[in-house]
Structure formats: C-alpha cells, structure tokens
Amino acid sequence: MIEVKNLSKSFGDTQILFDVSSKFEAGRVNLIIGASGQGKSVLTKCIVGLHEPDEGSVIYDGRDFSAMGRKDRIEVRKEIGMLFQGSALFDSMTVEENVSFPLKLFTKMSKEEIRDRANFCLKRVNIIDKNELLPAETSGGMQKRIAIARAIAMNPKYLFCDEPNSGLDPKTSILIDNLIKEITYEYNMTTIVITHDMNSVMEIGDHIIFINQGRNWWEGDNNEILRTENKEVVDFVYASSFMKNLRDKMINN
Ligand SMILES: Nc1ncnc2c1ncn2[C@@H]1O[C@H](COP(=O)(O)OP(=O)(O)O)[C@@H](O)[C@H]1O
Ligand SMILES: [Mg+2]
C-alpha cells in the first residue's frame, strides 16, 4: 500500500498541490483522474520522488519515503515500475535490450538469467519473436506492451502508469488497460494509473481519486462515479456525448 499524507507542492509562487491525502492499496488498480493541468502528473512525480513535496509524506508499505536519504530511496525505487507518457523506450536499443536494461542496471543477474527474464516478460505481454527489432519497427500498441514488459522486469511491488493510452486507438487502449489490470491482480501490485480516459475509468477503476485544482476533490470507485453529484466530477464524466447519452438513458428508464 502507498499512503499519501497531506502533500503540498509549489513551483515558485504557484501552488500546484494542496494537502492531498489518499491510500492506494495493493492488488487494485488505483486511478488518478482529472482534466489537463490539474496536478495529476505533479502528484505522481511527488509520490515517486521525482519532485520533492514542500509538505506531507509518502509511505510505501510502512516505510516513510519522504524521510529517507538517497540510499534507502534507491532501494524503494527498485521496487517501482514506471510507464511514462509516450512509451519512452530507448530508440537505439532493440526490444530485448530495452527490457533487459533495468536488470543490467540494478541486478547482479547473469547474461543468461537476464535473457530469460526479458523473454518471460515479453511473453507475458504477448510480444514474441520481436527481440532483435528496434522500437520504431513495431506498432504503437506493441511499443506500449514492450514498455510494460520493461516496467515489470524487476518484478515491482508498485507500478505507475502516466496516461498509458495516450496516442492509442480505442481497441488497443482496452487491450493495454486489461493488461495493466491483469498484471496488477496477478502480482498483487499497488498500481497507480493516471488517465483522463473515461473508458479506462469504467474498465479498470477499482479506486479512483479525482484531482481538481490540485486537490483530492472526490474519491470512490467506478460505480460510485456514475452516481456522484459532485459538479466537477459530473462535468468530467459526462464531457463526452457518449456518456451523456448513457446518463440520459439511465435517467429516462
Ligand atoms: N516543473 C514544473 N515547473 C513549474 N510548473 C509546473 C511543473 N510541472 C508542472 N507544472 C504546472 O503544474 C500544473 C499541473 O501540471 P500537471 O501535473 O502536469 O497536470 P496534469 O493534471 O495534466 O498531469 C500545470 O499548471 C503545470 O503547468
Ligand atoms: Mg499529466
């Protein structure tokens, strides 16, 4: 479980996050949702230590990450898998080299063990016989799956995905969402997914926090989000005409 307690963050005179608290449990897909520019990425970067919060703390399974020195943080960092916006694969490395990269960097595994582990992870995301290709030689959906394979290579306890569906078609998005959900349950990971995709919210939202104006504005699951009367959440959920139609149908029946 990751616990965020009273997190605040400013850049210069501009405060971005205001006293954000929440708990993200293991074996669940936790979503951070909200419109653009509300602070989702900044919050996530504070959680993983890419930004230093001004106030508050982040606790990884009882370990106070915020209070740790560099060395201890590196140990926690090894337990974190990350999937950033875009696929962020290394262009000049092959598919297999990309997935092997964290293993080479952070473990003492032998070449053979690394190859086996990379192949295991690639197989898990259904990428087979693509080891020697460069990322650019594969499709966008494949690149995302390769990035997932790399993110799970170290067998992480925690998985962060920032807009995993950006740039993907709807069908591929569903595939990626389901893959994230499956591996979360399979490995009992604490998964945090940032998204503004309502499809993802409905498909995989076990626990959702809605960030608005840098605050934890609303919290619940994907059943509750359809029933809330919180104005900003309703505006977000029903921004698409598809969802509006769905709501009208629900109300008329
Ligand atoms: N490194 C930074 N320095 C200054 N301002 C930033 C920085 N990163 C993000 N911001 C600002 O913080 C706000 C929230 O950004 P962000 O968390 O990226 O939003 P989103 O919810 O779309 O992920 C935006 O106004 C953005 O311009
Ligand atoms: Mg963002």
Buried b (16+ CB within 10 A) or exposed e, 182-219: ebbeebebbbbbbbbbbbbbbbbbbbbbbbbebebbbe
DSSP per residue, 198-215? HHHHHHH-SEEEEEETTE
Per-residue pLDDT reduced to its tens digit, 118-162: 999 999 999 999 999 999 999 999 999 999 999 999 999 999 999
User: Beta 14-24 vs 28-33: how paired, if at all?
Assistant: unpaired
Predicted local confidence at residue 126, as pLDDT: 93
Q: Give distance in angstroms: CA of 17 to centre of ligand 1.
A: 10
Predicted structure pTM score: 0.91
Per-residue pLDDT reduced to its tens digit, 181-234: 999 999 999 999 999 888 888 889 999 999 999 999 999 998 999 889 999 999
**Nearest alpha carbon, ligand 1 atom 3:** 11
- Our measurement of the distance from residue 115's CA atom to the centroid of its chain's CA atoms, rounded to an integer in Å, reads 26
The greatest distance separating any two alpha carbons of the chain, rounded to the nearest whole angstrom, comes to: 63
Predicted local confidence at residue 244, as pLDDT: 66
How much is the mean pLDDT over the chain? 92
CB atoms within 10 A of CB 71: 7
Q: Give distance in angstroms: CA of 200 to centre of ligand 1.
A: 22
Amino acid at 34: G
216: part of which helix (H) or strand (E)?
A: strand 215-220
Residue 25 clears pLDDT 90, i.e. is over it: yes
Pocket of ligand 1 (CB under 6 A): 11, 16, 34, 36-42
